[in-house]
Amino acid sequence: MQTTTPPKRKINRRSAKQWRAILRRFDKSDLSPADFCRQQKLALPSFRRWHRKQLAEANTTAPSFVELQPPTATPNLETPWTLELDLPGGGRLRIQSGL
């Protein structure tokens, strides 16, 4: 009986520049990581490793403290207001007045 070996799978190595472009496309998509990787024919573990690396770099370059200055005009406290902050990694902090 003759045995055949399966064809070797080609490993597609991407540069850091290519991964940054891939991650920018992911950030613009509304897809989950698994769906994005399936659509783009990417290995999910590689994608997650590069995504974690990108988030770690973003956390080290971002300032640890940002001072918020009040507006120069006096706000109308009778009017409801909302403050939204977009956080790294896609999070959002929303603060609303209780009016």
Domain that holds residue 38: 16-63+79-96
Q: Does residue 26 belong to any structural domain of this protein?
A: yes
Residue 69 within any structural domain of the chain: no
pTM: 0.49
Q: Has residue 1 been placed in a domain?
A: no
Structural tokens at position 62: 């971002």
> How many domains in the chain?
1
CA distance 70 to 85: 15
For the chain, 99 residues long, give each residue's pLDDT as a single digit of tens. 667 777 776 777 888 899 999 999 999 998 999 999 999 999 999 999 998 888 777 766 656 677 777 666 666 667 787 888 888 878 889 888 775
Domain assignment present for 70: no
Question: pLDDT at position 56, please?
Answer: 76
In a domain, 9, yes or no: no
- Distance CA(44)–CA(35), nearest Å, equals 9
Could you give the residue ranges of the DSSP H alpha helices within the chain? 16-28, 33-40, 44-61
Residue 48 belongs to some domain of the structure: yes
